[in-house]
Structure 1
Amino acid sequence: MAELRRMPATTSSGECVFCAIGTGRAPAAFVHEDDEFVAIVDLRPVTTGHLLVLPRAHHADLAGLPPETGARMFTIAQQLAAALRRTDLRCDAINLFLADGKAAGQEIPHVHLHVIPRHPDDGFVLDADWRVRSREELIEVAEKVRAAL
C-alpha cells in the first residue's frame, strides 16, 4: 500500500512539501490555519475527509517536536475529529495516526498527524501479530522503557 500512496517529500525547488504548504507556496485545501499550524485535506485520502495537521515550522520527527507543539497538534486534531462527526461525511469513528520514521510509514520527513474518518466497510486495516504476550515479556519491556525515560 505504501507504494500507492508515495508522494514527493519536496517541491520541484527542493523545499519540504509540507513547509511549502504551510507558507502558502504550495496549494492545499485548508480546513484550519493559525500562526503555528495548518490542517489540510489529504491529497491521497484513506477515506473521504482524511485530514493532516501540520506544524508550519519544520520538525522532521517527534524527537525534534517541542512537547507544547505536539500537545497543540493533538488539540487541533481533536477539534477536527469533532467537526468531521458534525459533517454529512461518512464518519462512524476516527483514527489519529502519526508515523514517526520511515519504518513506521512516514513518507515526508515533516511531522504530521492524520485525522482519518472511519466506517465499518472502509477497507483500512492495520495488520500485526496481535497475540497476547507473557507477563514476563511485558515487565521486561516496561523496565527498559522506564530506564530510558
Structure 2
Amino acid sequence: MANTAETCIFCEIVKGERPAHIVLDVPDAVAFLDARPLFKGHTLLVPRTHHETLTDVPPDLLGPFFSHAQRLAAAMEPALGAAGTFVAMNNRISQSVPHLHVHVVPRNRKDGLRGFFWPRHKYDSDAEAADHAARLANALD
C-alpha cells in the first residue's frame, strides 16, 4: 500500500490521532521528539500537509518551513545545554517514514556520533521525554 495522508503515521501525529511529545505546533508545521532519538531532545519537524520529499514541497512553503528548523536548532543550545546541532533530512533512501521530516539533533563534542554509525539514546521514561519536549517548547516562546 502506498503511503498517503490517510496511512501516514506522521499525519496521524499532526492530527492528534497518535501520541507524540510535541515541541512545536504552528499552522504550517509540527515538531515532536523522535521515538528513537540519536540523543535526548532529537526532534523531527514535519510540514502539516503531507509531502513525501523535499522536491514535493511547494516552493512558497520552503522558507517558512526551514525557519522553523532554524528556530529549533537555536533552541537546542540553551534548552538542553547542547554545544551545537545536527540538522538533516533524507529523501526516499533511509527515510523511515515517507513524509518529509527534518531531524534537529542536539550535539556535544565527543558525543559518539561518527559518520553514519549513530548510537541511539532512549529516554528513561515518558516523563523524561515530556520534560525534554517542554524545555524545547519553552525555549521557542
TM-score normalised over the length of structure 1: 0.70
**AA paired with 2:105?**
I
Residue of structure 2 equivalent to 1:135 = none
Aligned pair 1:36/2:10, yes or no?
Answer: no
Q: Which whole-Å CA distance do the structure 1 matches of 2:102 and 2:47 have between them?
A: 9
Measure how far apart 1:121 and its partner are. Answer: 2.2
Shift of 1:31: 0.9
Q: Which amino acid aligns with 1:117?
A: P
Q: Which amino acid aligns with 2:89?
A: L
1:1-149 matched pairs, under 5 angstroms: 15-87=7-79, 89-102=80-93, 105-126=94-115
d(CA) in 2 for partners of 1:113 and 1:72?
13
Identity of aligned residues (%): 37
Deviations 1:47-81 (A, max 9, x none): 11111111111001112111222222210011111
CA contact (8 A) 2:32 2:44 kept: yes
On the 8 A contact 1:31/1:41 being kept in 2, the answer is yes
State the TM-score, normalized to the length of structure 2. Answer: 0.74
How far did residue 85 of structure 1 move? 1.1
For the residues of structure 1 that align with 2:107 and 2:44, how far apart are their CA atoms? 15
CA–CA distance in structure 2, aligned partners of residues 93 and 58 of structure 1: 29
For structure 2, the 5+ residue unaligned runs are 117-141
Structure 1 CA distance, aligned partners of 2:60 and 2:13? 22
Ranges of 4+ aligned residues in structure 1 off by more than 6 Å: none
Q: CA deviation at 1:114?
A: 0.6
- Distance in 2 (alpha carbons) for counterparts of 1:46 and 1:73: 22
Greater Rg over alpha carbons, structure? 1
Equivalent pairs counted in the alignment come to: 113
Aligned-residue CA RMSD (Å): 1.8
**Which position in structure 1 is the counterpart of 2:122?**
none
> Which segment drifts farther, 69-78 or 44-53?
69-78
